[in-house]
């Protein structure tokens, strides 16, 4: 049996790895966003786990700030996506090449 904290860290890194795989392999911009959310959530899990094992409430407070940053990121990102969709008529990231050289 693994140690208690270790299993949370392993779970969080598996989730982060899944998010990273999704981010570089998918082409749908919306799924890219969801992969980023997956990575943010795994970091939250790590913070809460360390906060519980070190008996320090600061980790839980940090999670709330990450919530705020994630909400801001999603709002701005989806607005950018809508603005892009007006030009390209697609959510395929390979078609978003107006800034590519």
Range 52-71, binding other proteins (CB under 8 A): 52-55, 57-58, 60-61, 63-65, 67-71
Task: Name the minimum Å distance from CB 101 to other proteins.
Answer: 18
Instruction: CB nearer to other proteins: give 91 or 101.
Output: 91
Confirm if 62 and 52 have CB atoms less than 8 A apart: no
Please tell me whether residue 99 binds other proteins under the rule CB under 8 A: no
Please tell me whether residue 12 binds other proteins under the rule CB under 8 A: yes
Q: Where are the alpha helices (DSSP H) in 2-100?
A: 4-25, 29-53, 58-88
Q: Alpha-carbon distance 99 to 11, whole Å?
A: 37
Please tell me whether residue 44 binds other proteins under the rule CB under 8 A: yes
Please tell me whether residue 43 binds other proteins under the rule CB under 8 A: no
Confirm if 42 and 66 have CB atoms less than 8 A apart: no
Please tell me whether residue 11 binds other proteins under the rule CB under 8 A: yes
Q: Alpha-carbon distance 75 to 57, whole Å?
A: 28
Please tell me whether residue 15 binds other proteins under the rule CB under 8 A: yes
- Measured in residues, the chain has a length of 101
Please tell me whether residue 91 binds other proteins under the rule CB under 8 A: yes
């Amino acid at each position: 049996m693994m140690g208690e904290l270790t299993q949370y860290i392993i779970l969080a890194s598996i989730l982060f790895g899944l998010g990273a795989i999704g981010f570089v392999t998918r082409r749908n911009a919306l799924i890219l966003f969801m992969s980023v959310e997956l990575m943010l959530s795994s970091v939250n899990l790590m913070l809460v786990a360390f906060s519980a094992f070190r008996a320090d409430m600061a980790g839980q407070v940090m999670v709330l700030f990450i919530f705020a940053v994630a909400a801001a990121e999603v709002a701005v990102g989806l607005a950018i996506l809508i603005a892009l969709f007006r030009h390209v008529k697609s959510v395929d990231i390979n078609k978003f090449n107006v800034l590519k050289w």
